[in-house]
Structure 1
Amino acid sequence: MFLYLLLPSLCLGQRFLQADETCYGVILDCGSSSTKTTIYSWPCRTSKIYPLTDITQESQQLKTSPGVSTKYPDEIQAYLTPIFEFINSKVPTTQKEYTPIFMGATAGMRLLDINKSNALIDEIRKQLSMSGYLFQNNNWARIISGQDEATYLWLGVKYLLGNTDGSLITIDLGGASTQIAFKVDYMQYESDIVTLKMPDEEINLYAISYLGYGNDQARDAVLAKSIIGTQVISPCYHQGYSSQWTYQKVQYSLSGSGNVEQCQALIQSFLNSQCRTVKDELCGINTIDQPQLPSSYSIYAISGVATIANFLQLSTFKLPQLLKQAQEFCKMSWSQVQGNTTYSSNPYVATNFFLSLYVHQLLSIGYNIPDTMDINAPLVINSQTPSWAMAAVQYQLAQVDCDLDSSVCQELILNLMIFFCLMVFY
């Protein structure tokens, strides 16, 4: 009788140990210009291990504009409603209570007054805790630091590439900030070094974020240099372009003069870097010393860099190639751009004049990338959109027991309990 009851229990336990049921995790990446909601999936965990995303399956993603930092606390429930509808349509009802939901706010929230940002975060936590999804504690919804953002991105890209030795440089360009991260062999820049304890090694990662140097913030700062009264005649917009521009609650009449050299000079002044103008291998953005980039490393630049590279029909490029393509686009008049169906269908085409030149200046003068190095700018890697969010989900879940987020783990625990009870009883 004991063996008769024991064998089914062991078989059940073995089934769950080898189970391939799919579990899910949700993260809201609250950036300055939008919220990207991503639903990741992985084979359900049966123990407290690093939950590895199934990179053979494209993640489900929703982009909601504008960014949550533009809202007030009493608007958060309405803002999140379509996001929850999207999640509900993708996550099976039976998995809902086991599906962890996280929120990470980045540079847009870092720029807010502390009282407003705290009020927004509190309301988001309230809504997530009431959603029916797994929301364990307040740390699962927070403003992450720029250094965390840089570190998580590096880890995520490393995982997607299967880059085992970490010979990798990652660069991110968002709306309000930009980040760079790469492995170093020394601790000279202690405040910018993150020590990662990996399963088989310890990695010293140089990871830094520049708040205010993202695409949207940089464009506003550069435009402000051309304000005359209530008018702005900007060299960073196509000749013939005209619109309205609101800056610090004042509306200006904006027109473009389409001058590449003048726009580059304004961007260089904004970046405040001596790279390429003086012989200093440690130069960086706003005169902050940056370690020299290892020439043997692979560079992966995402978000704004990948967006403009894709727009200019580039995927892997050297900086002279990027500049050539950018100059050809910027030399077009606004009427020529509008007459080009490839360009005119892009909803951000008006600001791509600035973005194309800013990305070149940021990578060359800001991050001091040599003209000889290849820059990879993929929109996806192994069917996944590269971002800091993937590694953040994996890291956070690795801190908790699997019975929280895995029905398989719960069933396994139950069957083991039955097994031990039978042993005691018989």
Structure 2
Amino acid sequence: MRVVDPELVVHIFAPLTGPRAAAAYAEARRIWLNCRLQLGMGSPVPELPQHLPAAVADLPGGTETVLAAQERIGADYQAVARRVDDMLNVSVILSHRDPSHLDWSELINNWVGVAAPWPDGLLTRAHLYQAKIEDGTPREIDPVLAGELTGGLPVELPERWWAGGTRVGEHLVTYDPVEQAGPQSLLVLAPAERSAELNAWTWSDGSAALPPVARLLGRPPPPATAPPAFSVPVAPTSVSETARRVLVCASDEQVRDRMHVFLRSIGLKPIERDECVEATHKLMPTTREIMLAGLHLAAVTIVVATPEVTNEAGVMRPSQDLMFEAGLAMALERQTILVVAGDLVLPAGIGDGYIRLADSAKAKQSLVRRLMLAGSEPDTSGGSWLEPGVFEGLDAYTRRPR
């Protein structure tokens, strides 16, 4: 028994009436265009328009109408837009071309890049992480297979999640993540031979109808009366002070602490986790919300990749969570500096524009130059910041596969 064919289904909802309708529709069209430009959905679906009308007033009437559809060659990425009464629904499905690749991280990173920055107060969305069980059913998942599955999920599930879940019909089972803030999320599993049933419930049955799960989750955005989710502290900050704020993303706590020490030695102000939590204005923010708040507070983000996980070939790689944070920072077009500490292999497509961390003056000077290029204002007067010690003896340098 194994889990195959992981897919990400996203349902977006926007109001077509009221004072926010025009702005919400414009954001939905932006995301629709980004699907074509960034995800390669340049092919029309037969017998359907590919482009959304320019304005709400140009939309056809009807209680449930398909407005447009587009896909990437191979049909692994598709998007469809519908009018459902006074609501616009945009649905997107992203699939791996290799169905055995049990990982949703690349899919969610691609989606975040298309949708960012997310227009809170104008659109709402739901994320469905779905997959199929070969030679078994969701109720037959054991702890080993459950561990393999959750290793590729960008959301956290409760302990022994596979023993619970909610049955949909005779064959589908849904599971709720631990973190409920932010976009609604569900893990949906079905036997491989029930693929058509799964897609009909989450994505499409081939007709113009909104799938049942989208009908359950669809809702208008709440009134924009709450404080902005990612507003900065009320106290005024000068441009110079803002330019000194730096967010450090690192899975390795020792590396993160040492980087904070170095940044303070050149007059910069690293952002602490508590600041990010407070900036969400929520009592129990999700990890993603905390990360987004930090990105909005920072002028520059430093992502430090360290060897954390070993693949089947015995090669060490950074954690998936860290690569998600890096992708989020780049998707939001934040000034991002990638630093590598230790012996590891980066994901394909990262390129070689990173800085190799060391306790040498050369490495520190490279980091300072990159900070300046990013618009930060490090204070390099004097030479104490070049003295050895701060990046010496990091555990990441000698970490090897077990």
Which of 1 and 2 has greater Rg? 1
User: RCO (CA 8 Å, sep 6+): is it higher in 1 or 2?
Assistant: 1
More helix by share: 1
Shared fold (TM-score greater than 0.5)?
no
Q: Give me the TM-score of the superposition, normalised by structure 1.
A: 0.28
**TM-score under structure 2 normalisation?**
0.29
